[in-house]
Structure 1
């Protein structure tokens, strides 16, 4: 959810019993591939290895999309994301688990990487998914049910936060979750990340002159991974990026990011190899784009996330049913 405290009037059922401490911090980068995987594994990106939207597969020297590119980019979900999921742990403890989502996600690589161990159940609308999730929890006592509701996020990306479309999506989710929770069923409602709006005049485009010595640009506009050419003068590139993006983004090296614990207390060798030599972490409501890339569809995205602002990292944790305070 994005800047959700400013829109509690559109989520009255969800926020009625909330208090100030009913919040959590998303991981870094505050992006879907990294944050959802942390929710369903219980470990930081530095451990599960999904450290951004697009990252380098160093063994092939190609960028891979860790959200939607598992099949097209040739990533093995069972080895690329090797952390045990909560569903696998629940199964080992003798309990059933279910994942409720869109039918199109049932066999995706991202689902295989993050929801393995759960039985996938498809439903269309948000209300239908919530209804199915409640029914599964009631019919299978002791089970774990995960229900994915991406409508608010999608509306934010396309139309921006606080747009009529974003508010309508929030109100739909609120209405669906207002349904009575079955007896003895506890519900936790949270989000993988928040969002900020990026205006067109806050889109910074890096052209060839800025990208000298850079072999690949991964990540996403609010948190770029820059992978350098092998023989480049790293010190010169760092100085140039810091000068070019002064006041717009913080430029840190892989070593600085790992030492600061941005990806968590533990960073595996596999995860480290996927982190850029340099990271450009956007400040405020700026976004940084690779102007030499052929695909510029992201330039039309209004709501964005990935960086370190409170709006992107602070998320609600709402307890319903048996978990209500």
Structure 2
């Protein structure tokens, strides 16, 4: 019997209205007075800090208010944004860093095919022979800020300072290294105090790492959330006069049990006609061998059934999953795109042993992954 299609509907990101790209665009517009691009209606400010907490989904924050009282209070009168697809760090940092949707900036997932080759580009382990500026040539938010007379500073662990992803989507900002929460708070405040007009972005990644290993809502994850809450509160309490702190995330996360994992390396049908398996367990780019795309699409739909929304490249683009397309980059999208539903995942235990073993996963179009906070605190 052919498995039924998923009964639920995907959360299609609200590009142009309330996505991560719109947050970035609105922040810069609020600093330059460009009301046409301030689609979120943010208040004007000369000094802004955007704190990005990797993995802090809206539903997770709302479900753990006791662990994060400061952030939860800010969330009380706020509304979430949509992350974008795939809901994964590289793509979301691309949207934040360029103020463009994924199909415009071209960082279309954790692993995507390099067109014209038989290889994958891992956006978090960027290959040295691919120029990040050629892969993503559009001006970044920070380059536009500098052109408008706004100083731009990015604060994150020093290991990422010269990464390919940093150069692709965060270039134009002065990079300041901070490897601990205390350093991140101190550097953020110092950066805000360094100029009358300054845009500071600060990135914290440990909540995501804890979620991957231990699972969201685990004791380890909940304790880490409490530390994040204190980090945000410390920055807020030290804001210079007139400065604004925004807090958001790149994606949410779901826990995937072993029995909910479909292993593409152990199901021969899922490898039939497939040249490359990209993406990640909750958001797969499937690249077919020449002439096999239609068969791969049909087989993936049949095998996965209700466990994923499965679309062809053209369908995924037409559904708006990736945003308005720049067709110079859409060939990076898989011939088939599979977005996991519920708590399912399509792992590859041989090819991707680390990612396949994660408890916490993200990347898809469920509300748990797509909805992220947009919290604001203005210095009195």
Instruction: Work out whether the TM-score is over 0.5.
Output: yes
Q: Distance in 2 between matches of 1:159 and 1:47?
A: 34
Which of residues 239, 242, 245 is equivalent to 1:184? 242
Q: What is the root-mean-square deviation of aligned Cα atoms in Å?
A: 1.5
Q: Distance in 2 between matches of 1:222 and 1:77?
A: 25
Q: SS state of the match for residue 113, structure 1? A: helix
Q: Does 1:198 align with 2:253?
A: no
Which of residues 19, 29, 35 is equivalent to 2:86? 29
Q: SS state of the match for residue 124, structure 1? A: coil
Q: SS state of the match for residue 130, structure 1? A: helix
Which of residues 292, 298, 307 is equivalent to 1:239? 298
2:273 corresponding residue in structure 1: 213
1:59-70 equivalence runs, <5 A: 59-70=116-127
Q: Distance in 2 between matches of 1:38 and 1:50?
A: 8
1:248 corresponding residue in structure 2: 307
1:53 corresponding residue in structure 2: 110
2:316 corresponding residue in structure 1: 257
Which of residues 189, 193, 210 is equivalent to 1:134? 189
- Where does the alignment leave 5 or more consecutive residues of structure 1 unmatched? none
Q: SS state of the match for residue 247, structure 1? A: helix
Q: Does 1:228 align with 2:292?
A: no
Q: Distance in 1 between matches of 2:119 and 2:232?
A: 42
Q: Is the CA contact (8 Å cut-off) linking 2:308 and 2:341 kept in structure 1?
A: yes
Greater displacement, 112-121 / 56-65 = 56-65
1:166 corresponding residue in structure 2: 221
Deviations 1:258-305 (A, max 9, x none): 11111102x1233211000001110100000235x4332212111111
Q: Distance in 1 between matches of 2:197 and 2:116?
A: 42
Q: Is the CA contact (8 Å cut-off) linking 1:192 and 1:315 kept in structure 2?
A: yes
Q: How much does 1:63 deviate?
A: 0.9
Q: Distance in 1 between matches of 2:172 and 2:230?
A: 30
Q: Distance in 2 between matches of 1:135 and 1:213?
A: 54
Q: How many residues align?
A: 318
Q: Is the CA contact (8 Å cut-off) linking 1:127 and 1:173 kept in structure 2?
A: no
Q: SS state of the match for residue 319, structure 1? A: strand
Q: Is the CA contact (8 Å cut-off) linking 2:269 and 2:299 kept in structure 1?
A: no
Q: SS state of the match for residue 263, structure 2? A: strand
Q: Distance in 1 between matches of 2:78 and 2:304?
A: 35
2:23 corresponding residue in structure 1: none
Q: Distance in 2 between matches of 1:301 and 1:159?
A: 8
Q: SS state of the match for residue 279, structure 1? A: strand
Deviations 1:137-164 (A, max 9, x none): 1221111111001111111111110111
Q: Distance in 2 between matches of 1:137 and 1:9?
A: 29
Q: Is the CA contact (8 Å cut-off) linking 1:253 and 1:279 kept in structure 2?
A: yes
Using the size of structure 1 for normalisation, the TM-score is 0.94
Q: How much does 1:169 deviate?
A: 1.4
Q: SS state of the match for residue 339, structure 2? A: strand
2:156 corresponding residue in structure 1: 101
Q: Distance in 1 between matches of 2:91 and 2:287?
A: 19
1:313 corresponding residue in structure 2: 370
Cα gap change, 1:25 to 1:176, in 2 (>3 Å)? same
Q: Distance in 2 between matches of 1:153 and 1:119?
A: 25
2:29 corresponding residue in structure 1: none
Q: Distance in 2 between matches of 1:184 and 1:165?
A: 36
Q: How much does 1:20 deviate?
A: 4.9
- Where does the alignment leave 5 or more consecutive residues of structure 2 unmatched? 1-55
Q: Distance in 2 between matches of 1:165 and 1:85?
A: 35
Cα gap change, 1:54 to 1:24, in 2 (>3 Å)? same
Q: How much does 1:221 deviate?
A: 0.5
Q: Does 1:301 align with 2:361?
A: no
Q: SS state of the match for residue 245, structure 2? A: strand
